[in-house]
Amino acid sequence: MPVPWATAAQSEKPTPISGYTGSEMAFATLRKWIDTCDRKHACRPQSSSLLPARVLCIRDTGRIFLHCTKPGETGSYACLSHCWGAYQPLRTTTANIASHQSAIHEDALPPVFLQAISVAARLHIPYLWIDSLCIIQDSESDWQMQSALMVDIYANSIITISAALATCDLDALFVRSPQYNQFIPLEAGASLGISARATLKHGTGTSLPLLSRAWVLQERLLSPRVVHFTWEELIWECMEQTTCECGCIRSLWSPNFVPFDKNLLFDKILRHDSKMESKERWYRLVEEYSRLQLTLDRDRLPAISGAARRLSEFTGYTYLAGLWKETLISDLLWERKSRFAIRQLDLIPSWSWAKLGCEVEFDRSMSMQELATVITASCDSSGHDAFGEVTGGRIQLSTVVQPPSAVIAGAKTNDENASFQIASDNYSDKDTGSLCARMAIRRQVYATESDDEDISSGI
Q: Which residues bind Zn ion (CB under 5 A)?
A: 37, 41, 43, 200, 238, 240, 244, 246, 249
Minimum distance from residue 176 beta carbon to Zn ion (Å): 16
| Packing angle, helices 305-315 and 140-148, rounded to 10 | 40
Nearest Cα to Cα of residue 55 among 116, 8, 141: 116
Cβ proximity to Zn ion: between 29 and 115 the closer is: 29
**How far, in Å, are 7, 29, 235, 373, 374 from residue 10 at the CA level?**
9, 22, 21, 56, 57
Minimum distance from residue 13 beta carbon to Zn ion (Å): 12
Minimum distance from residue 184 beta carbon to Zn ion (Å): 21
**Distance, CA of 46 to CA of 75 (rounded, Å):** 10
Minimum distance from residue 45 beta carbon to Zn ion (Å): 9
Minimum distance from residue 12 beta carbon to Zn ion (Å): 10
Residue 382 CB neighbour total at 10 angstroms: 15
Cβ proximity to Zn ion: between 36 and 419 the closer is: 36
**Distance, CA of 401 to CA of 204 (rounded, Å):** 48
Cβ proximity to Zn ion: between 40 and 63 the closer is: 40
Minimum distance from residue 170 beta carbon to Zn ion (Å): 27
Q: Long-range contacts made by residues 135-142, C-beta under 8 angstroms, separation at least 24?
A: 135/54, 135/92, 136/92, 136/93, 136/94, 136/97, 137/88, 137/91, 137/92, 137/93, 138/93, 138/94, 138/95, 139/94
CA torsion, points 414, 418, 421, 423, in degrees to nearest 10?
-10
Cβ neighbours of residue 235 closer than 8 Å, sequence gap 6 or more: 164, 202, 203, 227, 228, 242, 243, 244, 245, 249, 257
Minimum distance from residue 130 beta carbon to Zn ion (Å): 23
Cβ proximity to Zn ion: between 269 and 294 the closer is: 269
Cβ proximity to Zn ion: between 263 and 327 the closer is: 263
Instruction: State how far Cα 47 lies from the chain centre.
Output: 25
222, 129 contact by CB (below 8 A) = no
Cβ proximity to Zn ion: between 268 and 275 the closer is: 268
Minimum distance from residue 233 beta carbon to Zn ion (Å): 5
Cβ proximity to Zn ion: between 39 and 271 the closer is: 39
Cβ proximity to Zn ion: between 251 and 315 the closer is: 251
